[in-house]
């Protein structure tokens, strides 16, 4: 896997999580208090940085074969989950993930909550909302950084890709002060699901002792096959009547679903 491929894979996967985290922070800051929301964001980033700094060197010390077997299995679990939900959304069997709806719901909930000061934080609700949202989405970012980076023995590059994705998405969010509703997030999640599943298959098989024809070039076959299978399943399911007559838009309760 080349450095460019590693950077792109991590960047795309982390961009999806950054969209959701940015939506939460914007809701907390707009409806409540920007200082408290920013403090919560900063606190979550410190915790996530400590996790990556602590686990990164430890994972790189694990024998490569064992590491790839474990990481391959974990990527398959996450990738298949993302892929399954993307297929169900594309076929009309699961709610579409709409950041505009999520933003409006979070904004209404934040506006209705009572205001309470805690220490130097003017609004504890805004702080905790921002902190929890960034931490939960950030843990998935940390997982992606550590798994991809450790397998390629280049955690710094994976960290750089994740940071770039977060900065780009956050910069756009702050500039327009609105959720990234125009970002084709469901499509991005399908792509990320395909990538995670493909790398999970590739690394898991290598960890189990298999040798791929062409080594890393085998990914050029695995990725299109997984994508074609996913698109085929989505097309087949479109012809199957959904349990409900129409597809509703996802609300805040669906936010943590990939």
CA distance 183 to 53: 31
- What does each C-alpha distance from 102 to 82, 98, 251 come to in angstroms? 19, 6, 5
Residue 256 is predicted with a pLDDT of 46
Contacts of residue 175, Cβ cutoff 8 Å, sequence gap at least 6: none
- What does each C-alpha distance from 107 to 68, 162, 196 come to in angstroms? 42, 27, 32
Residue 248 is predicted with a pLDDT of 43
Q: How many domains does the chain have?
A: 1
Q: Which of 158, 123, 139 is nearest to 45 (CA)?
A: 139
What range does the domain containing 92 cover? 3-254
Residue 15 is predicted with a pLDDT of 86
pLDDT per position as a tens digit, 210-234 = 888 887 788 889 989 999 999 998 8
Q: Quick check: pTM over 0.85?
A: no
Residue 62 is predicted with a pLDDT of 64
Residue 239: φ, ψ to 5°: -85, -5
pLDDT per position as a tens digit, 147-194 = 888 777 788 898 899 989 988 888 887 777 666 555 666 777 788 888
Residue 226 is predicted with a pLDDT of 93
Residue ranges of the chain with per-residue pLDDT less than 70: 1, 56-64, 95-116, 118-119, 177-185, 242-258
Residue 254 is predicted with a pLDDT of 47
């Amino acid at each position: 896997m080349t450095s460019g491929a590693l950077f792109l894979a991590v960047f795309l996967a982390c961009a999806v999580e950054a969209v959701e985290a940015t939506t939460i922070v914007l809701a907390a800051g707009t409806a409540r208090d920007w200082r408290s929301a920013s403090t919560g964001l900063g606190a979550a980033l410190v915790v996530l940085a400590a996790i990556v700094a602590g686990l990164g060197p430890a994972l790189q010390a694990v024998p490569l074969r064992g590491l790839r077997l474990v990481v391959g299995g974990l990527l398959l679990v996450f990738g298949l989950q993302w892929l399954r939900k993307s297929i169900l959304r594309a076929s009309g069997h699961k709610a579409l993930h709409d950041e505009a709806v999520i933003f409006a719901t979070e904004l209404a909930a934040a506006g209705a909550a009572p205001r309470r000061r805690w220490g130097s934080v003017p609004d504890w609700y805004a702080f905790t909302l921002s902190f929890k949202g960034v931490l939960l989405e950030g843990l998935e970012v940390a997982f992606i950084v550590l798994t991809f980076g450790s397998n390629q023995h280049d955690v710094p590059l994976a960290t750089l890709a994740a940071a770039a994705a977060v900065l780009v998405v956050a910069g756009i969010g702050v500039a327009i002060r609105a959720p990234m509703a125009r970002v084709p997030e469901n499509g991005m999640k399908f792509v990320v699901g395909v990538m995670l599943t493909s790398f999970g298959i590739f690394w898991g098989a290598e960890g189990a002792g298999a040798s791929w024809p062409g080594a890393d070039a085998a990914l050029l076959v695995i990725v299109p096959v997984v994508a074609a299978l996913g698109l085929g399943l989505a097309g087949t399911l479109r012809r199957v009547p959904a349990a409900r007559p129409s597809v509703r838009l996802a609300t805040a309760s669906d936010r943590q679903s990939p």
